[in-house]
Amino acid sequence: MSYSDDPVYHAVQQINHPTAIEPILIDTWNHWLGETPESLKVKPILTYYRPFNCARVVAEVTVLTSNAAEPLKLHMFFHSFADPDKVRHQVNKGYELAVPPNAVLPVFAINAWQTVVWTLPHAPCLPELTELLQPDYFCPLLIAPDDLPINPNDYPAPQIFRYVPFKRAILTWDAPNGKHRYFVKLCQELEFTQVVANFQQIYAQSDQLSFQVPEPIAADPVSRTFSMRALPGQQFTTVMCQARPQLEPFKRVGQVLAELHQTHLHPISVWTPAKEFRLFNIAMADVKLALPHLAPSIDWISNQLTELANHIDFSSSYPIHANLFGDQILYSGDQIGIVDWDTLSLGDPHYDVGRLIAHFLYLAGREQLATKTVKTCIEALLEGYESAITWQLDRTCLAWHVTMQILLRGKISSLRKLPPHWQEDLEFVVAEAEWLLAGCSQYIVLPPLSQCFIAAS
C-alpha cells in the first residue's frame, strides 16, 4: 500500500481541485442560507497531510452574492480522516459549540470524502479567535496606542494570516498611518508563557545585535495572544532559490548565526539529539507509509545516524534558534532580521547551521538549481560563520545534522504540504542523505560519515 491507496490523500486532492470542491460549497451555501452565490472561489493556503491518518487543509474562500456590494472573504478548515467514525464524532462535537455570528456557515460533513468542514472562526480549539477578530476588542488589547486612530470606530480589523489547526493562529494588523505592520500569535496554553519569554529575552539584547529581531508590543495571558511589530525584508528562501553567485548575503547570514550562538541568552528549553530522533522517527514513519519503496533506504540511513550519534559530541550550552530555515531569515540588503523565536533553546550550534544548509539542499533539488552556484553559496555561508566563531566548526557533527535535517525538510515541505512533484522531492532528499553519509554530495564538501555506504547500497 502507498499514498495512492489512502482515502485521506484522495480527499486532499478533491479539496484542492476547484471543479470538485466549489460546487459542493455552493450547494451547502444554498442549503443553509437560502441563496446561490453568483461566484465562489476556493484557494488552498495550507495543507497538513499524514498518510492513512488525517489531513488538514485551510483555504481562502471568496464568495460573491447578488445582494453584496463586495465579495465576502472567508477562511475554511477542511479536516479529513481515514476513520469515518471520527468524522461523525467531530461533527457532533461541532454542533455542541456556539456558532459565532461571523462564521457564516455551521460545521458540516462531506461524507464521500470523510471530511469535516469548519468556517473560521468557528473551529475546534482556539475559541479566542472569535473575539480577536473584533477590532474593538483586538486593538486596545494588542496594539500600541500611537498606532491607533483616535476614533475607535476607525480601528482596522485584524486579518487571519495563518491558521494551524489545533496549534496556533497568526493574525496581521496594519496601522492606518502606514508606519507599522503587526503580527499577533495566538498560542496554546502550555506554550504561551515560554514563547513570550523567548521573544522578550532576545529583544532585550537587540541593541547589542547586528541583526534585527521583532519588537514585542503586548502579551495577554487571558487570550494567550502576543503581538509584535513586523520586520522588513524578503525571506531568505527567496534569495536561496535565486541561487545567484552573490556571496555577500550568505556570508553575512553565516556571521549573524555565529553572533546569535555567542549571545548571553538563557532560554529554558534544551535541544537534545534524543528529542530530534523522536521527531525524526515519527516523520520517517509517515514517509515510509506514503512511499514504501523508500523504506529500505530510510531505515539504513536511520540506523547509520543512530550509530554515529554515539560518537559525536553534541553541545548543549549554546543559544540556538532551534527552528531555523530560510523563511525565518529576512534579508533586505543592508539589514538581516530573524523571526519566530518560539523555540529558542540551548543546544548544538551545528543544528541551526545544518537546518539552514539542509533547506538550501532541498531547494536545490526541488528547483533544480545550478550545482556549482549552490556549492559556492554554502561555502560562503560557512566561511562567514567560521570567521566569526571562537571555536572550531566540527564538520562531522555538521554533516550528521545536515543528513538528518534534509530528510525532515523533505517530510515537512513535500509530504506534509503535497506540492506538485512531492514524490520526486522525497526521492531526491533520500538519495542526497545517502550521498551525504558517503561524503559525496555534489553541493557541499563534508567528511564521509559512513565507510560502509557502498556495501549497504
Residue-wise pLDDT tens digits, 202-240: 999 999 999 999 999 999 999 999 999 999 999 999 999
DSSP state, residue 411: I
Q: What is the pLDDT at residue 99? A: 75
Q: What is the pLDDT at residue 134? A: 93
For the segment 13-67, what is each residue's pLDDT rounded down to a tens digit?
A: 999 999 999 999 999 999 999 999 999 999 999 999 999 999 999 999 999 998 8
- Phi and psi for 129 in degrees, rounded to 5? -60, -30
DSSP state, residue 415: I
Q: What is the pLDDT at residue 9? A: 98
Sheet containing 115-119, strands listed edge to edge, beginning at the edge strand earlier in sequence: 39-50, 54-64, 72-81, 115-119, 108-110
Q: What is the pLDDT at residue 334? A: 84
Judge whether 436 and 409 are in contact, CB under 8 Å.
no
- The region that residue 105 occupies, defined by phi over 0 for left and psi between -120 and 50 for alpha, beta otherwise, is beta
Residue range 360-372: mean pLDDT, rounded: 96
Beta bridge partners of 137: none
| Contacts for 391 with CB less than 8 Å, ≥ 6 apart | none
Taking the C-alpha atoms of residue 348 and residue 352, their distance in angstroms, rounded to an integer, is 8
Residue of 72, 67, 66 lying closest to 38 (CA atoms): 66
Residue range 118-123: mean pLDDT, rounded: 88
Q: Is residue 454 over pLDDT 90? A: no
Q: What is the pLDDT at residue 456? A: 40
Q: What is the pLDDT at residue 450? A: 66
Domain positions in the chain are: 3-119, 129-229, 234-456
Taking the alpha carbons of 264, 268, 274, 279 in that order, is the dihedral positive or negative?
negative
Q: What is the pLDDT at residue 69? A: 84
Architecture of domain 129-229: 2-Layer Sandwich (3.30)
Architecture of domain 234-456: Alpha-Beta Complex (3.90)
Q: What percent of the chain has pLDDT over 90?
A: 87
